[in-house]
Structure 1
Amino acid sequence: MICCINPDCQKPENPDGQTYCISCGLQLVPLLRNRFRMIKLLGQGGFGRTYLAEDIDRLNQPCVVKQLAPDVQGTWAISKAVELFQ
């Protein structure tokens, strides 16, 4: 399983071997930052998504990757979202 990292994708989970997301058409990233392989969407909310991933540099050890994608507009709101995310 490989997950699309487009925060607007409605169904981010794709079977292995896919080059483009079945749901949104975005090109899939096999490894985020050449290190993390997104396996499954765990949850999402107003600030972004959380994925179950594998850390390739640590012998495929399971980990969690949080994606900041605030569902807000305006400089103040985005700054506040970043502050709360951190």
Structure 2
Amino acid sequence: MSNFGEVSVQCSNHGTENVPSHTEELRVFLMSGEQQLTFRQWYSETWVTIQQQVLLSQETLQQERLNSTESGLSTLRERML
């Protein structure tokens, strides 16, 4: 995680005053952004991997169907002879 310094504001009557609520809001906002970027990267990588597996499975099934059909046609030809 990133380190963030304290946010300070200059007030006319009170001098320099730390404003932890703004600091915390900024920290949460930036950390949330980092988490979103990390999630997006993970999601993208995961989605690509899943899609590759699905496509490979579809190709495998298609090849098995083709082999089965060819085998069935060969058997049918042999019976007809």
The structure whose residues are more often strand, as a share, is: 1
Q: Which TM class, normalised by the smaller chain length?
A: under 0.3
Question: TM-score when scaled to structure 1?
Answer: 0.21
Q: Greater Rg, structure 1 or structure 2?
A: 2
The structure whose residues are more often helix, as a share, is: 2
